[in-house]
Amino acid sequence: GAGVSQSPRYKVTKRGQDVALRCDPISGHVSLYWYRQALGQGPEFLTYFNYEAQQDKSGLPNDRFSAERPEGSISTLTIQRTEQRDSAMYRCASSSPPGTASYEQYFGPGTRLTVT
Amino acid sequence: AQRVTQPEKLLSVFKGAPVELKCNYSYSGSPELFWYVQYSRQRLQLLLRHISRESIKGFTADLNKGETSFHLKKPFAQEEDSAMYYCALSGRRGGGSEKLVFGKGTKLTVNP
pLDDT in tens, B28-64: 878 889 999 999 989 999 999 887 778 889 999 989 9
d(CA A11, CA A42): 20
Burial of residue A55, with CB atoms counted within 10 A of its CB: 0-12 exposed, 13-18 middle, 19 or more buried: middle
The mean pLDDT value for B59-81 works out to: 95
Which ranges in chain A belong to alpha helices (H)? none
The list of chain A residues with pLDDT below 70 reads: 1, 97-102
The closest alpha carbon to B13, from B85, B76, B87, B84, belongs to B76
Return the pLDDT at B95.
47
Whether A105 sits inside 8 A of B105 (CB atoms) is no
The mean pLDDT value for B19-23 works out to: 98
In Å, how far from its chain's centre is CA B103?
9
% helix, strand, coil for chain B, step of 5: 5, 45, 50
Find the residue in A nearest to B105 (Cα): A42
Name chain A contacts of B4, Cβ cutoff 8 Å.
Answer: 42
Name chain B contacts of A56, Cβ cutoff 8 Å.
Answer: 99
Confidence grade of residue B96 (pLDDT, cut at 50, 70, 90): very low
Whether B104 sits inside 8 A of A42 (CB atoms) is yes
The mean pLDDT value for B104-110 works out to: 98
Return the pLDDT at B2.
87
Find the residue in A nearest to B99 (Cα): A45
Return the pLDDT at B53.
75
Q: Max CA-CA distance within chain B?
A: 42
Is the link from the previous residue into A8 a cis peptide, with omega within 30 of 0?
A: yes
Name chain B contacts of A97, Cβ cutoff 8 Å.
Answer: 96-97
CA distances from B33 to A94, A102, B39 (A): 18, 15, 20
Find the residue in A nearest to B48 (Cα): A104
Name chain A contacts of B43, Cβ cutoff 8 Å.
Answer: 3-4, 107-110
